[in-house]
Amino acid sequence: MARTALPGAPPASSRPTGMRSAERRFVAAVLIPVIIYMVVFSLFPIVWVVVLSLFDFSPARAGSGPLGLGGRNPFIGFGNFQAMFADTQTAQLFRTSVANTLLFASLVLILNLAITLPLAVLVESVAERLKGVFRFIYFLPTVSAAVAVAIMWGYVFHPQQGLLNSAIRAVGLTPPRSWLTDPKAFVLGVPLAMIAVIIAYVWQDFGYNLVIFIAALQGIPREIKDVARIDGANAWEEFWHVTLPLLRPTLLLVCTLTMISSFQVFVIFYVMTVGGPQDQTRSLTMNIYENAFRFQNMGWAASMSLILFAMILVVTLVQFRLLRTDWEY
**Residue bearing the bigger pLDDT, 22 or 255:** 255
Q: What is the pLDDT of residue 273?
A: 94
pLDDT > 90? residue 159: no
Q: What is the pLDDT of residue 254?
A: 92
Q: What is the pLDDT of residue 317?
A: 87
Question: If you average pLDDT over residues 242-258, what whole number do you get?
Answer: 89
Q: What is the pLDDT of residue 282?
A: 95
pLDDT > 50? residue 327: no
Reported confidence tier of residue 328, pLDDT bands at 50, 70, 90: very low
SS (H, E, C) 211-231: HHHHHHHHCCCHHHHHHHHHC
Domain boundaries of the chain, sorted by first residue:
84-322
**Overall CATH class of domain 84-322:** mainly alpha
Reported confidence tier of residue 129, pLDDT bands at 50, 70, 90: confident
